[in-house]
Amino acid sequence: MKLAIHVQPRASRNAIVGWHGDALKVALTAPPVEGAANAALIAFLAEAFGLKRSQVSLVRGDSSRHKLVELAADEAAINARLPPR
């Protein structure tokens, strides 16, 4: 399943904030420097959706707040853990 993400780096805590248009807004404590926020995003999403890190991959948006990630899991299981729109 592919999921659009809007990242808010340097937040006070890691959290799924809600929806930002069609993208899931995720707050991360990591700074947007040298891939730190990308690594933190992958680790956070894996934990939030009960996946292994290898099941979460960044498809697009290495240096942007707007990212596209692919989750190698059942779509129904992922949708059950997403906040309501």
Q: What is the pLDDT of residues 43-79, one digit of tens each?
A: 999 999 999 999 999 999 999 999 999 999 999 999 9
The answer to whether the CB of 23 falls within 8 A of the CB of 6 is yes
- What is the reported pTM? 0.94
CATH assignment at residue 67: 3.30.1200.10
Residue numbers of the domain that contains 54 = 2-81
Q: Terminal CA-to-CA distance of the chain, rounded, Å?
A: 18
β-bridge mates for residue 58, sequence order: 69
Q: How far is it, in rounded angstroms, from Cα 64 to Cα 6?
A: 9
